[in-house]
Amino acid sequence: MRERGENTRDFRRRESGASRWKLIPLPLLWPAQKAALVVAVLTALAYATIAGMQIPALRTVTMLIVAAVALWSGRAPPASVVLAWAAAVAVAIDPWAVLSPGFWLSFGAVAVIFLHASRREGDGSAERARQAGPAGWVWRLGAGIASAARTQWAVTIGLVPLTLLLFGQVSLVSGLANAVAIPVVSLLVTPLALLAAGMPVAVASPLLAVAHAALAWLVQGLAWLAAPSWAVWEAAHPGPVAFGLAMLGVVLVLMPRARLHALPRWLGGVLMVPMLAAGRAPVPHGEFRMTALDVGQGTAVLVETREHAMLYDAGPAYGSGTSAGGQVIVPFLRASGVRRLDMLMVSHEDADHAGGVRDVLAAVPVSQRLTAGAADHRLLTSDAGKTNWQACLAGAAWDWDGVTFEILHPSLAALENSRLSSNARSCVLRVSTPHRSALLTGDIGVREELALVRRSEEDRLHADFLLVPHHGSGTSSHRAFLAAVQPELAIFQMGFANRYGHPRNDVWRRYGRAGIARNRSDEAGAITIETRGAGQTVTTYRQQHRRYWRDAPEVPGPE
């Protein structure tokens, strides 16, 4: 008996020791909810990495990580806190992201969705959603579609201020376009593309063909939808007051009714009107505003009067396949509230002056086109093969709103001389009020400058503001020409560290020794001159928009 008892105690002792090494069931050690969080985060990281970790993907991943950490620790933070932490993490990873429109649009869209989602459903919706049978299924389908439509409407309205601020325009058909594009891309194109990426060629090819066909049809449909002129609403760049009122209006429009108290929802729409109707400060009658845009190594000058606007040159084409016309000029016109151009004058057909013509013509209606270049040159023809260019001839003159425009060069003989270079045929335009004047010179050289001095009557060549010929090269800016023009301010329009070495040092000093104030677009950015009777206001972009990573440009002056 004793022996048996000892054996029993020994067995229990061994069993007790073994139980210490017995594995705890996995559901107790790692609950299904935490496992799902880990899988979701890893899947999101993998997808975002494949997608290139751009701002929208980075925002989604950071929000998911923040929410996962909160849930893992047993907390349920408000959606606004999750969004704020996601934005902070995104900025910590990429501080320059705040300069990207995608950052503000991505986080802004999610903020609008959160605000819209805070509305409460009407009484009885939960009960109807739980109904069994076809009736409940139909109701849930209809409710889902209605909820998606309301959310899309909220995002469209909520992003109006940001879209106008960043792009100067907002699509009136974006809600319908997104309602079609988001399901097609999210549920068809993207899954097929990802699935094909991990399949053999024999299987991947038909999958990619289906994805490509769906995307091609989508693009055609969206192009048709965006074709009408009313599909886009444009407004000038708003001031801070108009933008602030519009943001407050968005909050009032989307705020849950329970939080509005006595405020009517239509008040939000009224607050958005100043931004939607924003326009640039008008030019007084008999005055002009001239803006030498920062287009890099090239020329583009916008001249505005009270009711008219003309563009002198369209900037260069860029090596990336884009141009200053699409990347700089058109956005500036939209931000300035310029909806059409009364004239586009291209001084000559060189790529740094005509490279952006096609993009400008594709985006902005132009009433009249003048050039001294070949009208059938590839840079001057539209995609439809149309030209519609008239010759830029000396002697032509017109008056807009009390401001005189006069072409001084080239002559008919110069246009017909095939031996002349394109630079020598550049259009030279003088813009003048009774008190102030400006001279736009293209790329003329010393020979053309001296010819202008000989042909011009007394004071006819004089100009207070001079767009320096040929970007300040050594082939232009003769002393006799400067003495005849006698400008107060010379604008050097060229690219930063350009390969041509513009402006040449001796030419730059020549202007300084002549007592002429000098300003250059590679340091100052866009340069704007507004005449005011016998005076003027000169402002530069980088003086008005300071950044910590660059010095403010010096005040223009002679040596």
64 in Cβ contact with 56 (< 8 Å): no
| Three-state DSSP class for residue 345 | strand
What is the per-residue pLDDT for 18?
45
- 105 SS3 class: helix
Report yes or no: 438 and 463 within 8 Å, Cβ to Cβ: yes
Domains and CATH numbers, the chain: 28-119+135-234 (no CATH), 289-544 (3.60.15.10)
Amino acid, res. 361: L
Structure tokens given for 41: 């985060």
Residue ranges of the chain with per-residue pLDDT less than 50: 1, 8-9, 11-19, 21, 121-124
Q: How far apart are CA 412 and CA 394, in angstroms?
A: 8
Phi-psi region of 430 (alpha: psi -120 to 50; beta: other; left: phi over 0): beta
Nearest to 314 by CA among 338, 347, 342: 347
Q: What pLDDT score does 1 carry?
A: 46
d(CA 428, CA 111) in angstroms, rounded, equals 52
What secondary structure, in 3-state letters, does 436-480 show? CEEEECCCCCHHHHHHHHHHCCCCCCCCCEEECHHHHCCCCCCHH
The dihedral built from the CA positions of residue 347, 350, 354 and 356, taken in this order, carries a sign that is negative
Q: Which amino acid is at 326?
A: G
Distance CA 235, CA 274 (A): 10
Q: Determine the Cα–Cα distance for residues 490 and 443; give it in Å rounded to an integer.
A: 15
DSSP string covering 59-101: HHHHHHHHHHHHHHTT----HHHHHHHHHHHHHHH-GGGGGSH
pLDDT tens for each residue of 48-97? 787 677 777 777 788 788 878 877 777 777 878 888 888 888 888 888 88
Classify the C-alpha dihedral 543-544-546-550 as positive or negative. negative
Show Cβ contacts of residue 266 under 8 Å, excluding neighbours closer than 6 positions: none
> β-pairing, 289-292 with 232-234?
unpaired
* Angle, vertex CA 446, rays to CA 445 and CA 450, nearest 5: 125
Strands 390-391 and 397-400: unpaired
* H or E element at residue 489: strand 489-492
b/e code 92-101 from CB counts within 10 Å (16+ = b): eeeeebeeee
Query: Residue 15: its pLDDT value, please?
Result: 47
pLDDT for the residue 430 = 96
In this structure, the strands spanning 437-440 and 309-312 are unpaired
Instruction: Tell me the C-alpha distance between 165 and 240, whole Å.
Output: 10
310, 288 contact by CB (below 8 A)? no
Instruction: State the pLDDT at residue 12.
Output: 45
Q: What residues are paired with 432 via a beta bridge?
A: 404, 437
What is the four-CA torsion angle of 348, 350, 351, 353, rounded to 10 degrees?
A: -40
